[in-house]
């Protein structure tokens, strides 16, 4: 019987791992549980940036240079919004907007985000099962010296320039895992935490009551380091580790997950940290993890699976 893999993931880094595993193991063996803490309602539409990055990456439509949105995009609608004095700081492309219109209409009719996401995946020819962590409202807020900011205001509007003093997952206590999430976490042979930001991508998923507990109750939970040589491939994680009081390295990330993970995948560049990671009670797996170029993903997916399932 083939192994099945569940991946907890955020946007870009997470979607690359999910893509790598789908290429290496086959999409029908992979489920992705995605972050909705950075969802935002703007211009009347519901945007789920992380779920969309996963969808677009797997459909091989992602604009890889921006790291979000679709390639071959145009921005006529956004130019009109700007001209008319609407909110235009969040760069919504025309094709991307089409997806948001379809999603928003269905959410307004009362359908759950998980059902809408499953249909969007099917329509885009994506074989991986993509589940939002929750169908309920969960929003990430970031504490900064300028006050508490909603995630996209901090990340996009203010270009994540404000140092992060704390993170809060609004509404998390009242959220339930989306239909299918706990089953996937119970039944998957292995659960992987993607190389995503532990505070604003993985954190909101673990904050949904029942998800963290189900990881603690099972074995075979592995995490892939989002820091390589102390730096994130993209994004503000290294600085956040420091301002939140953690060592900005793969070792620092391993400490965040040590109480419920049993395996930690770190990049070959960080091989010297393997001994320290072992001291935390985690089995270190050292392999290539940088999946920026789509052509590298199948082989990296194979190496991660071999190391983790090993």
Closest by Cα among 53, 1, 4, 42 to 191: 4
Taking the least distance from each CB to ligand FO1, the nearer of 50 and 135 is 50
Q: In the complex, what is the shortest distance from the CB of residue 279 to ligand FO1, in angstroms, rounded to a whole number?
A: 32
Q: CA–CA separation, 130 vs 36, rounded Å?
A: 12
CA atoms of 294 and 249, how far apart (whole Å):
25
Q: Tokens for 291, please give them.
A: 């999946």
Residue 167 burial by CB count (10 A; 0-12/13-18/19+): exposed, middle or buried?
Answer: buried
Q: Which stretch binds ligand FO1 (CB under 6 A): 107-115, 152-160, 163-171, 250-258?
A: 152-160
Distance of CA 120 to the CA centre of its chain: 18
CB nearer ligand FO1, residue 34 or residue 284: 34
3-class DSSP state of 138: coil
Q: Which residue carries 């983790």 as its tokens? A: 308
Pick between residue 38 and residue 143 the one whose CB is nearest to ligand FO1: 38
Strand 40-42 versus strand 45-47 pairing type: antiparallel
Residue from 68, 154, 199, 264 that binds ligand FO1 (CB under 6 A)? 68
Residue 75 in the binding site for ligand FO1 (CB under 6 A): no
Q: Contacting ligand FO1 (CB under 6 A), which of 156, 238, 256, 280?
A: 156
Q: What are the residues whose beta carbons fall under 8 Å from the beta carbon of 252, sequence distance 6 or more?
A: 227, 241, 246
The yes or no reply on residue 261 touching ligand FO1 (CB under 6 A) is: no
Could you say which residues in the range 90-129 bind ligand FO1, by CB under 6 A?
Answer: 90-92, 96
Tell me whether residue 44 or residue 281 sits nearer to ligand FO1 (CB atom): 44
In the complex, least distance from residue 114 CB atom to ligand FO1, rounded to whole angstroms: 18
CB of 8 closer than 8 Å to CB of 28: no
Both tokens of 282, joined, read 């985690």
DSSP 177: B
One of 18, 30, 36, 50 touching ligand FO1 (CB under 6 A): 50
User: 172 to 231, contacts with ligand FO1 by CB under 6 A?
Assistant: none
Near ligand FO1 by CB under 6 A: residue from 54, 118, 128, 155: 155
38: contact with ligand FO1 by CB under 6 A: yes
Q: The dihedral of CA 144, 209, 50, 91: what is its sign?
A: negative
Residue span binding ligand FO1 (CB under 6 A) among the ranges 49-57, 173-181, 207-215, 272-280: 49-57
Site for ligand FO1 (CB under 6 A): which residue of 27, 34, 37, 49?
49
Chain contacts with ligand FO1 (rule: CB under 6 A): 10-11, 38, 47, 49-50, 52, 68-69, 90-92, 96, 152, 155-156
């Amino acid at each position: 019987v083939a192994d099945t893999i569940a991946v907890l993931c955020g946007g870009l880094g997470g979607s690359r791992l999910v893509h790598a595993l789908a290429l290496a193991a086959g999409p029908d063996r992979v489920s992705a549980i995605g972050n909705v803490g950075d969802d935002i309602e703007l211009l009347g539409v519901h945007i789920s940036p992380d779920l969309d990055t996963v969808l677009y990456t797997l459909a091989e439509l992602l604009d890889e240079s921006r790291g979000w949105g679709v390639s071959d995009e145009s921005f006529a609608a956004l130019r009109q919004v700007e001209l008319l004095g609407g909110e235009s700081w969040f760069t919504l492309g025309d094709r991307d907007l089409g997806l948001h219109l379809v999603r928003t209409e269905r959410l307004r009719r009362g359908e759950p985000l998980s059902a809408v996401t499953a249909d969007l995946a099917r329509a885009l020819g994506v074989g991986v099962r993509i589940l939002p962590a929750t169908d309920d409202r969960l929003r990430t807020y970031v504490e900064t010296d300028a006050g508490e900011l909603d995630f996209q205001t901090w990340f996009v509007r203010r270009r994540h320039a404000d140092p992060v003093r704390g993170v809060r997952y609004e509404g998390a206590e009242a959220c339930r895992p989306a239909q299918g999430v706990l089953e996937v976490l119970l039944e998957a042979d292995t659960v992987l935490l993607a190389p995503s930001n532990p505070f604003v991508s993985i954190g909101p998923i673990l904050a949904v009551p029942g998800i963290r507990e189900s990881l603690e109750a099972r074995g075979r939970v592995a995490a892939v380091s989002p820091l390589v040589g102390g730096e994130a491939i993209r994004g503000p994680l290294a600085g956040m580790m420091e301002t939140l009081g953690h060592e900005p390295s793969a070792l620092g990330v391993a400490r965040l997950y040590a109480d419920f993970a049993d395996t930690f995948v770190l990049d070959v560049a960080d091989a010297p940290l393997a001994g320290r990671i072992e001291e935390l009670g985690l089995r270190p797996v050292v392999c290539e993890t940088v999946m920026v170029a789509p052509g590298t993903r199948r082989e990296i997916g194979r190496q991660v699976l071999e190391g983790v399932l090993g």
